[in-house]
Amino acid sequence: MARYLDIHPDNPQQRLLQQVVDALNDDQLIAYPTDSGYALGSRIGNKSGRMRILDIRGLDERHHFTLVCKDFSQLGQMVHVDNSAFRAIRAATPGPYTFILPAMPDVPRRLLHPKKKTVGVRIPDHTFVRALLELLGEPLLSSTLIMPGETEPRTSGWDVKETLDHVVDVVVETGVDTPAEPTTVIDWSEGAPEVVRVGAGDPSRFEG
């Protein structure tokens, strides 16, 4: 049965944030709100977390996972950002965008796309997520919580708990409306931006 933590949206309680971090460090799986719907998250070093996320979402090994980062500096430690991408990505973050880029050597191979050796990265514009990442001290392995057969992410903590009560360990609720639109995904792994999913972020800044 998942723990349900009601965390203040503007001033997250340190005690509750620490409980989420402790759960992640104990290789537990969390469901948490972002600026583009709910997501599933685990610590990067949690080897079972990746498989649990794939199972819940009904995805195969080719799924692009996302490393959720607290800032651009942390993002740059996870992926290679060339000069053509640097300014545009920095200007679009934080925000509801995911960027697919070549992974740095330190990123575990199991998290990468099996053929392209790429990984998604993003910096959410969300108070709870920023506070969590600050306390965790590393990026969060994550995937938008879109259930099999659905097209939009879940938006309510209570709905997530009812649906996934026995397959996730912690559900975070912040008591505010969470947008029902996933991130806009930009593949920049080939040296130029390609919009591969239109979502909450304005794609026009990366087109043409």
CATH number at residue 117: 3.90.870.10
The answer to whether the predicted template modeling score (pTM) of the entire model surpasses 0.75 is yes
Q: Which residues contact 50 (CB under 8 A, 6 or more apart)?
A: 42, 65, 110, 111, 141
Average pLDDT over residues 75-99: 94
Query: Would you state the pLDDT for residue 81?
Result: 95
pLDDT averaged over every residue in the chain: 94
- Domain residues for the domain of 139 are 3-206
Give the number of residues written for the chain.
208
Query: Would you state the pLDDT for residue 46?
Result: 95
107 to each of 46, 77, 110, 154, 165, how far by Cα in Å?
13, 9, 9, 28, 30
Per-residue pLDDT of 138-148, as tens digits, reads: 999 999 999 99
CA distance 166 to 163: 8
Query: Would you state the pLDDT for residue 192?
Result: 93
Domain total for the chain?
1
Average pLDDT over residues 164-185: 93
Within the chain, where are the H helices? 14-25, 47-57, 72-78, 83-92, 127-136, 157-164
197 to each of 39, 88, 99, 119, 153, how far by Cα in Å?
17, 17, 11, 15, 14
Per-residue pLDDT of 100-127, as tens digits, reads: 999 999 999 989 888 889 999 999 999 9
Average pLDDT over residues 51-69: 91
